[in-house]
């Protein structure tokens, strides 16, 4: 197992390298003079000139890339001109909020999705199956930002049960219960689509597995049906569910951008959208690389979990 983890960690290096290349190339597509783009159209020619030299933008592309990556490796992501502070500091300040939101939503969608999928498959064509299928179709069809807005209207404006936005109350608060009250709506709104996708996939994976020969073997030796479903079948179905959990984690992270906008959640997603609208290129570049790297790390965990579950992978 240790060898596998090490192997998987090493294989992440070229992926991280590739990510930086892709981001760098996309950013190099920006038309016109990058320094003007960074400084805005009111910058003086001297300032543009100075920035170009400072960023090494007068050199060939590949040299620029290595200068950039060299800086990244030293923790220098550059400076956000709009916020006038180091990019990395801004990202680190906001990443925690995103992690709390997306992490909660991810746990929620994984648990609910698998549970709904297994129940649905076990009761195929029954009432529970039909109800779940209907809710799931609704769930994967509703835009999360619209759902979020409707939840605010209902629970915050009409019923006044929950706060409409932010992460903590402005007066008082700041403790865990306060955070949880703020977290309920955005986390739920964020998890809905992924829950639907995972539930659908779990259902079909379970149906696929339940037809396999080894399920018949388990029944033939007298294993109780409950154990056949939640043990034998689910364990095998997890082999195809886990990779999808990895992909859905990316979708949850992506959806967080919308939810952060709707609920004024102080996370990385909102930061990125603001930065794009303000053409704060270095902040976008740094934010994208940082979050993508974290996602690569998460996927290593997913792969290790998969290898732990399925002994056929390591050999």
Partner 1 sequence: MGAFLKLLFRNRLAGFGAVVLGAIIVLALITPWLPLHPPNATVTANRFLLPGTPGHLLGTDHLGRDQLSRLLWGTRLSLAVGFAAAVIAGVVGAAIGIIAGYFGGRTDNVTMRGVDMLMAFPYILLALAIVAALGPGLMNALIAVAVVNIPFFARNIRGITVGIANKEFIDAARLSGMGHTRILLTEVLPNVIPVIVIAMSTTIGWMILETAGLSFLGLGSQPPQADLGSMLGEARSAMITAPHTSIVPGVMILLIVMSINLLGDGVRDALDPRLRSGALTRPLPATQVARKSVPEVPAKPGLLEIDALETQFHVGKRVYRAVGGVSLELKPGECLGLIGESGSGKSVTALSVMGLVASPPGVITGGAVRLEGRDLVGAKYERLRSLRGDKVAYIFQDPLSTLHPLYRVGDQLAEAILSHHGIGRAAAMERAVKLLEDVRIPNAKARARSFPHELSGGMRQRVAIAMALANEPDIIIADEPTTALDVTVQAQILALLDRLRRERDVAILFITHDFGVVGQLCDRVAVMYAGRIVEQGPTREVLEAPAHPYTKRLIACVPELGEGRRVLAAIPGLPPAVDALPEGCAFAPRCEKATDACRAGEIALESHGGRKLRCIHPEPAPVEESA
Footprint of partner 1 on 271-300 (CB under 8 A): 272-273, 275-277, 279, 281, 284-285, 288, 291-292, 295-296, 299
Nearer to partner 1, 69 or 179 (CB): 69
Out of 4, 65, 95, 145, the only residue in the binding site for partner 1 (CB under 8 A) is 145
Q: How far apart are CA 307 and CA 314, in angstroms?
A: 6
Helices within 87-126 (DSSP H only): 87-122
Q: 3-state DSSP call for residue 173? A: coil
Nearer to partner 1, 83 or 273 (CB): 273
Interacting residues with partner 1 between 218 and 247 (CB under 8 A): 218-225, 228, 232, 235-236, 239, 247
**Which two three-digit tokens encode residue 16?**
């991280």
Separation CA 213–CA 166 (nearest Å): 52
Asked whether position 72 contacts partner 1 by CB under 8 A, the answer is: no
Site string for partner 1, 245-264 (x = CB under 8 A): --x-xxx-xxx-xx--xx--
Q: Measure the CA–CA gap between 36 and 239, rounded to whole angstroms.
A: 50
In the bound state with partner 1, the residue whose beta carbon lies nearer, of 9 and 150, is 150
Q: Minimum distance from CB of 168 to partner 1 (Å)?
A: 21
Per CB under 8 A, the segment of 53-61, 84-92, 104-112, 133-141 that binds partner 1 is 133-141
Site for partner 1 in 188-217 (CB under 8 A): 204, 206-208, 210-217
What tokens appear for 145 in the block? 């930002």
Structure tokens at 202: 């779990």
Task: Tell me which stretch binds partner 1 (CB under 8 A): 70-78, 85-93, 132-140, 178-186.
Answer: 132-140
Rule CB under 8 A: say whether 140 interacts with partner 1: yes
CB 249 within 8 A of CB 54: no
Q: One symbol per residue from 152 to 181: x for binding partner 1 (CB under 8 A), - otherwise; what is it?
A: xx---x------------------------
- Beta strand 79-80 with 85-86: parallel, antiparallel or unpaired? antiparallel
Residue count (the chain): 315
- CA atoms of 262 and 146, how far apart (whole Å): 9
Give me the least distance between CB of 49 and partner 1, in Å please: 23
Two structure tokens written together for 282? 């270095």
Distance CA 251, CA 259 (A): 12
Partnered with residue 80 across adjacent β-strands are 85
Least distance in Å: CB of 174 to partner 1?
25
C-beta separation of 186 from 164 below 8 A = no
Residue 48 or 156 having the CB closest to partner 1? 156
> Closer CB to partner 1, residue 76 or residue 208?
208
């Amino acid at each position: 197992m240790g060898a596998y983890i090490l192997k998987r960690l090493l294989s992440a290096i070229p992926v991280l390298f590739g990510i930086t290349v892709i981001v760098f190339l996309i950013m190099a597509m920006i038309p016109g003079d990058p320094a003007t783009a960074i400084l805005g159209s009111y910058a003086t020619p001297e300032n543009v000139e100075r920035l170009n030299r400072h960023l090494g933008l007068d050199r060939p592309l590949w040299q620029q890339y290595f200068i950039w990556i060299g800086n990244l490796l030293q923790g220098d992501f550059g400076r956000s001109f709009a916020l006038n502070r180091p990019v990395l500091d801004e990202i680190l300040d906001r990443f925690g909020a995103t992690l709390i939101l997306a992490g909660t939503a991810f746990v929620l969608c994984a648990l609910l999705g698998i549970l709904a999928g297994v129940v649905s498959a076990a009761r195929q064509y029954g009432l529970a199956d039909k109800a779940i299928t209907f809710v799931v179709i609704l769930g994967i069809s509703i835009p999360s930002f619209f759902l979020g807005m409707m939840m605010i209207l209902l629970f915050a404006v009409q019923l006044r049960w929950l706060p409409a936005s932010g992460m903590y109350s402005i007066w008082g608060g700041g403790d865990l219960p306060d955070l949880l009250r703020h977290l309920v709506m955005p986390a739920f709104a964020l998890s809905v689509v992924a829950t639907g996708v995972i539930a659908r996939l779990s259902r079909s994976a379970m149906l696929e597995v339940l037809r396999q020969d080894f399920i018949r073997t388990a029944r033939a030796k007298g294993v109780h049906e409950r154990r056949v479903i939640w043990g034998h079948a689910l364990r095998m179905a997890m082999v195809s569910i886990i990779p999808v959990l990895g992909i859905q984690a990316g979708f949850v992270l992506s959806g967080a951008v919308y939810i952060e906008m709707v609920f004024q959640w102080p996370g990385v997603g909102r930061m990125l959208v603001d930065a794009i609208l303000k053409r704060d290129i270095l902040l976008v570049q740094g934010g994208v690389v940082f979050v993508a790297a974290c996602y690569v790390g998460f996927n290593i965990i997913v792969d290790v979990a998969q290898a732990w579950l399925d002994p056929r992978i390591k050999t």
